[in-house]
């Protein structure tokens, strides 16, 4: 019998999935900000990623909240001809589980709000400090030599 482990921790999920996918999909996104291109050629419109499930055999399943079907607003012309799948009953039946082996790629259709999680404020502070140091170094190089 196959054993399953549910992983709903962003750090653990990031070890299983691409980091950008986990970081962006774990927060609620209005407007169906993501699409999963399936091996069938269809695009599954997704609002959020709730958890990943890993089997003892290595299969990875993703619990997602589906968005409505249809082409996302502003999508590039190359993507407009795809068939976009969404919730079978909008507002009522939006939860789904997707086998990661059936996903060819994940794409962000729109940027959503920043994800606040453990350590995010510290990371932002470190990035701001580094940017400040780089700015000071650039200004020092551009400054005219004394004398």
In what helix (H) or strand (E) does residue 11 lie, and over which residues does it extend?
helix 10-16
- Give the global pTM: 0.66
Q: How confident is the model at residue 3 (pLDDT cuts 50, 70, 90)?
A: confident
pLDDT, tens only, 43-85: 999 988 888 888 888 888 888 889 889 998 888 899 999 999 9
DSSP state for residue 104 in the 8-state scheme: E
Q: What is the DSSP string of 49-73?
A: EEEEEEETTS-EEEEEEE--SSPPT
Q: What does the pLDDT read at residue 130?
A: 54
Express each pLDDT in 106-122 by its tens digit: 888 765 444 444 445 55
Q: How would residue 141 be classed by pLDDT, with cut points 50, 70 and 90?
A: very low
Contact, 27 vs 113, CB < 8 A?
yes
Rounded to 5°, the CA angle 12-24-72 comes to 140
């Amino acid at each position: 019998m196959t054993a399953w482990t549910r992983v709903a921790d962003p750090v653990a999920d990031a070890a299983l999935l691409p980091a950008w996918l986990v970081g962006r999909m774990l927060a609620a996104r209005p407007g169906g900000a993501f699409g999963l291109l399936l091996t069938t050629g269809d695009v599954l419109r997704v609002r959020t990623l709730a958890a990943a499930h890993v089997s003892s055999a290595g299969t990875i399943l993703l619990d997602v909240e589906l968005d409505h079907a249809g082409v996302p607003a502003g999508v590039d012309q190359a993507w407009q001809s795809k068939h976009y799948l969404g919730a079978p009953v909008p507002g009522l039946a939006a939860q789904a589980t997707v086998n990661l082996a059936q996903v060819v790629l994940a794409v962000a259709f729109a940027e959503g709000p920043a994800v606040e999680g453990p350590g995010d404020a510290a990371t932002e502070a470190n990035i701001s400090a580094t940017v400040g140091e780089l700015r000071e170094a650039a200004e020092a190089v551009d400054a005219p030599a004394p004398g």
